[in-house]
Amino acid sequence: MTAPFRIAGKGRLTPARVARFTFDGAGYAGLEGDTLASALLANGVHLVGRSFKYHRPRGFLSAGAEEPNALVGIHRDAARKTPNVRATVQELYDGLTAVSQNRWPSLKMDVGAVNDLASPFFSAGFYYKTFMWPKAAWKHLYEPQIRSAAGLGVAPDQPDPDHYAARYAHCDVLVVGGGAAGLAAALSAAEAGARVIIADEQAELGGALRFETGTNIEGKDGWAWASESAARLAAMDNVRLLTRTTAFGYYAQNFVGLVERVSDHLAAPLPDLPRERLWQVRARRVVLATGAIERHMVFPDNDRPGVMLASAARTYLNHYGVAVGKAVGVYTANDSAYHAAIDLKKAGVHVAAIVDLRDNPQGPAVDEARGLGIEISAGRAVTGVSGRQRISAMTVQPKNGGASRTIPVDALLTSAGWTPSVHLFSQSRGKVAFDEAGRRFLPGTYVQDCVSVGACNGTDELGALLGEAAIAGHAAAKAAGIKVGRVAKPKASTGERWAGGMLGAAPGAGADSKAKAFVDFQNDVTAKDIRQAVREGMRSIEHVKRFTTNGMATDQGKTSNLHGLAIAAETLGKPIPEVGLTTFRAPYTPVTFGAIVNHARGSLFDPTRRTAMHGWAEAQGAVFEDVGQWKRAWYFPRAGEDMHAAVDRECRTVRQSAGIFDASTLGKIEVVGPDAATFMELLYTNPWQKLAPGRCRYGIMLREDGFIYDDGVVGRLADDRFHVTTTTGGAARVMNHMEDYLQTEFPHLKVYLTSISEQWAVIAVQGPKSRDIIAPLVEGIDLSDAAMPHMSVREGRICGVPTRLFRMSFTGERGFEINVPADYGQAVWEAVWAEGEKHGACAYGTEAMHVLRAEKGYIIVGQETDGTVTPNDAGLDWAVGKKKTDFVGIRGLMRPDLVAPGRKQLVGLRTKDPKTVLEEGAQIVADPNQPVPMKMIGHVTSSYWSENCGHSIALALVADGRALTGKTLHVPMPDRTIEVEVTGTVFFDEKGERLDG
């Protein structure tokens, strides 16, 4: 099957294997190496989409990344449906399935096209003006309707089954763009010995040499030179050559984001192959060789399928061997489009006429076209086209008006000149400058260590471009610290002329015209929309852009920005530089979320931290709760138990026999050095100097402002060694807080801090049977009350492995905390469990732990405290060393508002109805009958059902609360007001006799 528009012997694909594909269900054949665009054009298909707003039929404008029209859906399978893929970028593979977008019921018969007829109502700013009233209708009617009607492709509705990779890379010189300039720069830098990365968005390097036929470099055809140069670079150890890779973002300090399309062009990618790979490159020097993008001519109905850029037609012909039509017209304001006519004519395609806005075009290209017998219609304009879904003729008129003539054509190639691609330069925060002679913006002031070369720098002549690029590559290598020799510049014997052209609307699309002459194809912005925006008061180009949405589509106005600016400037009567250019933002072309997220999905989205005993708890059916990144066993339900039943049983068992609890997540810091006690004195409110080795103390840490920052039990292992524990959530920040003070305030102290949170697995055994449970397992430690009283620590062995054994309690019961090296955690736990079972002990989770400590009135930092609670507020004055003259927060505690009466103090609350459990966070009032808003005097910080007490218990912060003991307060809830009595904070074993029980 020969595609009708493929020209035998033309292009670089043959011999190639046939790749079959479908578009909107119809089967076609293309060649391997085709893009979807070239394959469709080879089959004579121009109509590929409907425009965003007016649903106008659209064809291909370009042959590259700037494509605004030919956006299609690529469907690999039910889960892999990618919308808005540029058909000019998507490489063909066998079995590719593409569908058109933004049409219903079909591409050729689209109901939405009624918008085109109604277009007088859809002028610029339409949405801002129309959907104002009634206000509520926006949310419920207008927005949902507009959203369903708008948008192009359809987002996939299943999780993305592909995987995406990421790579950080560093180099001396990053070259962005692999055209003639990029290749020359990369060769020069690489041959000087620099580490080079060169990235190009195409499958092969070569850039514009892909379509230019008139170039000759180093005695070779331009494309052949490019291919050989690319091969040379690829063979060098100091070069990484990335194809199908777009530099999309230029960030601070030469950090450039690249996305490599790894497998979108493959029919059956291997499973280990990612779909895309994100490269995050840090480059000493960046060489921007991003080229230039051809502009279309702005004239009435310039969006009809068959109207395309001249360079695109050349690409399809010279690279893919595809003629874009049988009778082709050319409409231009510069020389470079002549080459399209010449190439097509030489390939045997009928070229109906070259219409040139210039009165007297001259030069080698003009002469050659004339010599080939092509009609040149100078001083004339194309003022219209016929044909809706494919053009059939162009209307040609003298540019200042006069009799028109209709010339039948099935393709019309236009060129208004070339726009240097300064996107990345602009993203690097470089300032562009307007080149008056060339009527274009070029890189002006550089902010980062980069340089622009070639067409993006306004260097059009090939010889000059190669020299500039080679020198820049060489200089970049030198600037990166490479010892370089002499620079070698590739020599160009012939090149093509890119300069010249025009900006703005062409004749027929002037201020008096009502015609639709498109500036921005993707957002359906016409020349008259821009004029209207100016008429309605937009003066800044930034306002014009937002009012019309010119340049705001996913193509970011690659073809439209300068035309839009020129029309706005003309309407304003100002020179272009005074109106200014809009800002370029990353990404240069759309980047998938997959590439940005890459590995960070599923279990790699965020680390999940598990303790050494996690597996045991999981096997026991524990329910876990998230505490920061940690998974902590919340409760251990047995058959038939709900959470309440399980927690009640766990709480009961701890006080009747014993409970075993995984306390491994608590932060632990080893404080070592001769000044360890002095350091502890400064960081905690408590006195430490006199704490004997082997003893423990509950410590409170304040911030400078006097508020509680963290707490925990600290054991003194030796004169110069403390084992500090912190809250689970505070582990990292307490370490940082301590290290901060050590390094900045107390650098004279001889002490070092080491995080040991994860060195030790911690098994808490709490309850009257706790000593009996651990005794058979412990070696070398006397567990008697006399030898090892409450709040002491010993080092010895348990189950044959080293332990730091703490006698301490967070339940009010006799208790131990067994620290063992983490890898032994589970084995020791299982041994403790086996002993515990003999005594009827249970495992308990964080919920029971919370209840048990609340029964004893022990605070939890972050629950009873909220960053505004002092030790006195929390009833912990006893933990503040009265004789101490300095510690972090001591001055804060003296602040007038911290010693004033009326502060909220921690109290207990008992509901009058013992079964009622208050809501944590509920507000407390003195008089429930006062008018709303009531005066709130406090709030509930902790509230539980206490199985051991037989009634509910709560802790609360209440203004002057301790003086209210015995008084009745009220907790208003939406459905009722709950009466509570203020009590002390200890609900169980007030005398603390059970610690030794």
What residues from 175 to 234 belong to the interface with other proteins (CB under 8 A)? 195
| Cβ–Cβ under 8 Å, residues 41 and 2 | no
Question: What is the CA angle 155-157-163, rounded to 5?
Answer: 90
Least Å distance, CB 355 to other proteins, is 51
Element (H, E) at 452: strand 450-452
Q: What one-letter code names the amino acid at 868?
A: T
* CB closer to other proteins out of 104 and 593: 593
**831 makes contact with other proteins (CB under 8 A):** yes
Q: Residue from 471, 777, 926, 934 that binds other proteins (CB under 8 A)?
A: 777
**Pick from 801, 724, 811: nearest CA to 764:** 811
Q: Where are the beta strands (DSSP E) in 5-88?
A: 18-23, 26-31, 49-50, 57-58, 71-75, 81-86
Window of 204-212, 213-221, 609-617, 682-690 that interacts with other proteins by CB under 8 A: 609-617
**272 makes contact with other proteins (CB under 8 A):** yes
**Cα distance between residue 42 and residue 324, in whole Å:** 8
| Cβ–Cβ under 8 Å, residues 50 and 110 | yes
Give buried/exposed letters for 630-642 (b at 16+ CB in 10 A, else e).
bbbbbbbbeeebe
Least Å distance, CB 678 to other proteins, is 14
| Cβ–Cβ under 8 Å, residues 321 and 10 | yes
Least Å distance, CB 210 to other proteins, is 26
* CB closer to other proteins out of 129 and 599: 599
**827 makes contact with other proteins (CB under 8 A):** yes
Window of 610-618, 690-698, 787-795, 867-875 that interacts with other proteins by CB under 8 A: 610-618
**833 makes contact with other proteins (CB under 8 A):** no
What residues from 630 to 669 belong to the interface with other proteins (CB under 8 A)? 630
Q: What one-letter code names the amino acid at 761?
A: A
Residue 652 sits at φ, ψ, to 5 deg, of -65, -45
The DSSP bridge partners found for residue 413 are 308, 330
Q: Two tokens at 421? A: 């691609």
**612 makes contact with other proteins (CB under 8 A):** yes
**800 makes contact with other proteins (CB under 8 A):** yes
Q: Residue from 75, 405, 609, 652 that binds other proteins (CB under 8 A)?
A: 609
Least Å distance, CB 882 to other proteins, is 31
**607 makes contact with other proteins (CB under 8 A):** yes
**Cα distance between residue 598 and residue 266, in whole Å:** 20
Least Å distance, CB 273 to other proteins, is 8
Window of 61-69, 218-226, 276-284, 617-625 that interacts with other proteins by CB under 8 A: 276-284
Window of 326-334, 492-500, 606-614, 810-818 that interacts with other proteins by CB under 8 A: 606-614
**111 makes contact with other proteins (CB under 8 A):** no
271 prior amide bond cis, ω within 30: no
**816 makes contact with other proteins (CB under 8 A):** no
**959 makes contact with other proteins (CB under 8 A):** no
Give buried/exposed letters for 26-51 (b at 16+ CB in 10 A, else e).
eebbbbbbbbbbbbbbbbbbbbbbbb
Identify the burial level of 222 via C-beta atoms within 10 angstroms of its C-beta, where 0-12 means exposed, 13-18 middle and 19 or more buried: buried
**274 makes contact with other proteins (CB under 8 A):** yes
DSSP summary character for residue 295: P
Residues in the interface with other proteins (CB under 8 A) total 58
**166 makes contact with other proteins (CB under 8 A):** yes
Q: Residue from 799, 848, 964, 971 that binds other proteins (CB under 8 A)?
A: 799
Window of 213-221, 362-370, 605-613, 921-929 that interacts with other proteins by CB under 8 A: 605-613
**558 makes contact with other proteins (CB under 8 A):** no
Q: Two tokens at 540? A: 């800044």
Convert residues 565-604 into a mask of x (bound to other proteins by CB under 8 A) and - (unbound): ----------------------------------xx--xx
**673 makes contact with other proteins (CB under 8 A):** yes
**35 makes contact with other proteins (CB under 8 A):** no
> How many angstroms separate the most distant Cα atoms in the chain?
117
Residue with tokens 């138990």: 641
Least Å distance, CB 961 to other proteins, is 39
Least Å distance, CB 823 to other proteins, is 5
CB within 8 Å of 279: residues ≥ 6 apart: 166, 167, 168, 169, 197, 199, 242, 245, 257, 258, 259, 260
Identify the burial level of 2 via C-beta atoms within 10 angstroms of its C-beta, where 0-12 means exposed, 13-18 middle and 19 or more buried: exposed
**779 makes contact with other proteins (CB under 8 A):** yes
Per DSSP, the three-state class of 414 is strand
**Cα distance between residue 171 and residue 190, in whole Å:** 11
**Cα distance between residue 786 and residue 891, in whole Å:** 40
Q: What one-letter code names the amino acid at 126?
A: F
* CB closer to other proteins out of 743 and 929: 743
Q: Residue from 363, 674, 867, 928 that binds other proteins (CB under 8 A)?
A: 674
**Cα distance between residue 988 and residue 852, in whole Å:** 9
**765 makes contact with other proteins (CB under 8 A):** no
Window of 296-304, 827-835, 892-900, 938-946 that interacts with other proteins by CB under 8 A: 827-835
List residues near other proteins by CB under 8 A: 163, 165-170, 195, 272-274, 277, 280, 282, 599-600, 603-604, 606-612, 629-630, 670, 672-674, 750-752, 754-760, 776-777, 779, 798-801, 820-828, 831
